[in-house]
Structure 1
Amino acid sequence: MTAHLMAQAAYGAAKQAALKTPRNVEYDIFAQVTARLRAAEAAGKPAFPALVAALHDNRQLWTTLAADVAESDNRLPEALRAKLFYLARFTQDHSRKVLAGQDSAGVLVEINMAVMRGLATQGQAA
């Protein structure tokens, strides 16, 4: 591999990351966490530790999102902010049920997918 190709490989990812919008970054994070939730759910009981880790990361994501929409300087419409905050609370409560074996993570995946569709649609409009 030539020095030029090595430099391109090393700095290409950084350059591409620098070109991402905050919305793209949010989408990517949701996509990663959702894929992990899906995979752990599909693998069943043997993957319970992976499910716990994915649920933890999903809860952190939603906690961060709730804190963001609760900020007074958040520019999203107030109604959307309220809905996202409600979904964050629902995600916390439902995650407890999943961990207790009382429900599945399917609805959490559906919620994340809906947010991802919204982020993708917003990104196309921008």
Structure 2
Amino acid sequence: MHYGASAYARTEKAALPPRDLEASLLLKAAARLQALIDDWAGKQDDVDAAITYNRKLWTILATSATEDSNPLPVAIKQNFGRLAFFVFNRSLDIQIAPAPDKIAPLVNINREIAAGLRARPQAA
């Protein structure tokens, strides 16, 4: 049964539009980070795994959002790049000196970006 459920989840993700997939992955990363805050035990392996997952996700998102071929306006690309820079710096800080209060901003950023990605443009 577990195999079937995981196969369904993989198929569902493959069928999502890119914005929804990105939002889903950001929420997954936020949930992993929130779990650290909710059950803070200072386990370095858990912290490293969640932070590494989030950092890799942000590396992909930032690369895609800021590349020349992306049709986003330059100002949005620059803002996203600055936000990614914050995420990377905060991630390094957390890995050096883990603390749950340092993780909360990453959770909030992921949730807010995911909400923006899921928002649909209003019809004119």
Shorter chain as normaliser: what TM range?
0.7 to 0.9
Q: 1:96 aligns with which of 79, 92, 96?
A: 92
Checking the alignment, whether the CA contact within 8 Å between 2:30 and 2:107 is kept in structure 1 is yes
Between the aligned partners of 2:105 and 2:6, the Cα distance in structure 1 is 39
Between the aligned partners of 1:48 and 1:57, the Cα distance in structure 2 is 14
Q: 2:41 aligns with which of 36, 41, 45?
A: 45
> Considering only aligned residues, what root-mean-square deviation do their CA atoms show, in Å?
2.5
Q: 2:113 aligns with which of 104, 112, 115?
A: 115
Query: What one-letter code is carried by the residue in structure 2 that aligns with 1:117?
Result: A
Q: TM-score, normalised by structure 2?
A: 0.80
How many residue pairs are counted as aligned between the two chains? 117
Q: 1:28 aligns with which of 4, 15, 24?
A: 24
Between the aligned partners of 1:55 and 1:80, the Cα distance in structure 2 is 25
Checking the alignment, whether the CA contact within 8 Å between 1:55 and 1:95 is kept in structure 2 is yes
Between the aligned partners of 2:32 and 2:6, the Cα distance in structure 1 is 27
Larger Rg computed on CA atoms: 1
